[in-house]
Amino acid sequence: GENVEQHPSTLSVQEGDSAVIKCTYSDSASNYFPWYKQELGKGPQLIIDIRSNVGEKKDQRIAVTLNKTAKHFSLHITETQPEDSAVYFCAASSGQETSYDKVIFGPGTSLSVIP
Amino acid sequence: ETGVTQTPRHLVMGMTNKKSLKCEQHLGHNAMYWYKQSAKKPLELMFVYSLEERVENNSVPSRFSPECPNSSHLFLHLHTLQPEDSALYLCASSQDFGAPYEQYFGPGTRLTVT
């Protein structure tokens, strides 16, 4: 089955700097890669996702890149702000709509943005 | 506010107790999920319901028993739990079941088994 690894487990950056979180996956059939953000006391919330037919996707200060050959994908946050402090989860699945394919989550990265 | 509510938010129970967790979604979604979140571990999918029918049971011990009486409500019945079952239990829903559909998570129930 699919296995998703995520690094680093903790990350501290100064406000205004960039943060990068990297994930690898094992199943070459995976083609859907969402990223979730979990703030303290809340459940995870989708912030961006990417499909395998796209190499990069941006949404304001966040971007995700995908390298299908190497089976890794990354989350990039630019101009970090204190409200970006949270736990970030990457995930992977084969993304089929006609059958259930589990979304397999990575173990999470705890990001701290220092003012 | 994600449209998914969970009660109670915190629960302490003994190993011989029976309790239930409740989840309600106000989004008109057809699929609902239970996840277990333990420290330093990935989210573990426990159960999936689509249109009130269980479509996934991820090798969860029988001391956890789910119930989905309608597409808006999901319960997790707990009995004779073990200390290692202490964790944050998250409920989620999505428009339909399947990976491309965004999952909306509730805030979770923090369970402590003593």
- Rg of the Cα atoms in chain B: 13
Report which of residues A97 and A109 the model is more confident about: A109
Q: Does B106 sit within 8 Å of A34, measured CB to CB? A: no
Mean pLDDT of chain B: 91
Q: How far apart are CA B92 and CA A35, in angstroms?
A: 15
The pLDDT of B32-46, averaged and rounded, is: 90
Cβ atoms within 10 Å of B87's Cβ, excluding its own: 19
Q: Which of A101, A23, A30, A96 lies closest to A65 in space, CA to CA? A: A23
Q: Does A42 touch chain B (CB under 8 A)?
A: yes
pLDDT digits (tens, 9 = 90+) for A52-90: 888 999 999 999 999 999 999 999 999 999 999 999 999
With a CB cutoff of 8 Å and minimum separation 6, the contacts of A17 are A80
With a CB cutoff of 8 Å and minimum separation 6, the contacts of B39 are none
Query: Between A and B, how many CB-CB pairs are < 8 A?
Result: 67
3-state secondary structure of B83: helix
Q: Which of B24, B38, B58, B103 to mutate to test binding with chain A, by most A CBs within 10 Å of its CB?
A: B103
pLDDT of the residue at A101: 64
Q: Which of A108, A104, A114 lies closest to A71 in space, CA to CA? A: A104
Q: Does B95 touch chain A (CB under 8 A)?
A: no
List beta partners, residue A89.
Answer: A36
